[in-house]
Amino acid sequence: MEKALIIGASGGIGSAVSDALEARGVAVTGLSRSKDGLDVTNEASVQQHLGALEGQFDLIFVATGALEINGSEPEKTIKHLTADAMLDQFKLNTIGPAMVLKHSIKLLPRRAPATFAALSARVGSIGDNRLGGWYSYRIAKAAVNQVLHGAAIELARTHKELTCVALHPGTVETAFTEKYVGHNPSVPASEAAENLLSVLDGLTPEDTGKFYDWQGEEVPW
């Protein structure tokens, strides 16, 4: 791998992935809202920032996302569900990665190995849902899984060496999960980044369209 594009590069996982890649000697281009003004929920912003890039990337990694938006915490019951919370989650965690994928296709080589990966979450798995709750976040992550799965099928026709996957990073010690790390085993962002890159290292185009956790195990849809 020679060149990588990290979307959400200023966040906990995004910055750790960037650091890990740079330590490998990879030329990393990072984009984020806080440093570059990239708003993944706004297609015009995505188009402007990605349209300004030249060349092609071996890896495009989308590390954007949030568990709480505008003060809305994960719902414990459906009685707590609101339309605004659902829309906010969908904009950031589904539409964001979808727009990045749409406008980054030109940055992916057609005749060379490449990877497009976006962070998802195990709670987005319908088959693995045994607890209920967390409606807005679960729905948004299930939806982004569908985006990636569908795009992988389409892009396999034109980018035969592309691997397009969803990734579950586990519970990572970042501001994103600060209130929730006590409920599950957690790892520092630097360790999570190495775990995720190790998974990507082991994938091939035959694995495109799938959903993997940080250990490289396939997660059910």
Identify the band that residue 177 occupies on the pLDDT scale cut at 50, 70 and 90. low
The residues spanned by each domain of the chain are 3-213
Identify the band that residue 126 occupies on the pLDDT scale cut at 50, 70 and 90. very high
Distance CA 186, CA 7 (A): 23
Identify the band that residue 175 occupies on the pLDDT scale cut at 50, 70 and 90. low
φ/ψ of residue 110, rounded to 5 = -85, -25
Mean pLDDT across 146-172: 97
Give pLDDT tens digits for 111-123. Answer: 999 999 999 999 9
Q: Residue 7 belongs to what H/E stretch?
A: strand 3-7
Q: Is the pTM of this model over 0.85?
A: yes
| Residue type, position 199, single letter | V
Percent of the chain at pLDDT > 70 equals 95
pLDDT at residue 106 in the model: 96
pLDDT at residue 174 in the model: 67
Identify the band that residue 60 occupies on the pLDDT scale cut at 50, 70 and 90. very high
Q: Is the pLDDT of residue 46 over 90?
A: yes
Question: Alpha helix (H) ranges present in 91-188?
Answer: 96-104, 135-155
138 contacts 158 by C-beta, under 8 angstroms: no
Distance CA 142, CA 135 (A): 10
Beta strand extents in 24-176 (DSSP E only): 27-31, 59-62, 114-119, 162-168, 171-173
* Virtual torsion, Cα 8, 11, 13, 14, nearest 10 deg: 30
Mean pLDDT across 138-163: 98
Give pLDDT tens digits for 74-108. Answer: 999 999 999 999 999 999 999 999 999 999 999 99
pLDDT at residue 179 in the model: 62
Computed over every residue of the chain, the mean pLDDT equals: 95
pLDDT at residue 186 in the model: 79
Q: How is domain 3-213 classified at the CATH fold level?
A: Rossmann fold (3.40.50)
The number of residues in the chain equals 221
Identify the band that residue 185 occupies on the pLDDT scale cut at 50, 70 and 90. confident
